[in-house]
Amino acid sequence: MMSSLTETRRTSRSPSRWLLLASLALNLFFIGIAGSMVARHWLTKPADRSDAARFERIAATLPAADAERLRTQFAAQRAAIEAGRQTIGQKQDGIRAALRTEPFDVDALRTSMAESRAARETFYQLLQGVILSAASQMSPAGRAKLADWRSSRSR
């Protein structure tokens, strides 16, 4: 009789042990995922989104001589590019101010938006001018690499 009682206890405990182990494994799995997400958030630096850093990322994909040409062209236009970026910020501030003005003036907002578009267009022309000037001096291999370049956001 003693052995049948022991067997009954073993078989009744067996499923609960497996459930306990499965629960523990599942909890450890989720803790591992949460830990990796936290570590990724705290340990990775955000990408430098400045214009200089973006041109440097492009240059890093080019042959050495062509990369130097791109860096030289950017350096020559850097002050104008930074001024253009600052102008865009000022025009965006103008849009915000027009939205806050009471009484609201639709024409003032429309004008601010048009000025912002014009500032962006001028800025993009500056950036594209750097690429154009550098590309005109690059080797065919450098231009091909430039054509193949994609930002990390577009991948």
Among 121, 114, 149, which residue's Cα sits nearest to residue 134? 149
pLDDT above 70 covers what percent of the chain?
A: 88
Cα–Cα distances in angstroms (integers) from residue 6 to residues 1, 3, 137, in the given order: 9, 5, 88
What contacts 82, CB < 8 A, 6 or more positions away? Answer: 51
Angle at 19 between CA 15 and CA 25, to 5 degrees: 145
Residue 2's pLDDT band (cuts 50, 70, 90):
low
pLDDT digits (tens, 9 = 90+) for 50-107: 999 999 999 999 999 999 999 999 999 999 999 999 999 999 999 999 999 999 999 9
Average pLDDT, the chain: 88
Residue 46's pLDDT band (cuts 50, 70, 90):
confident
142 pLDDT more than 70: yes
Among 115, 111, 134, 133, which residue's Cα sits nearest to residue 123? 115
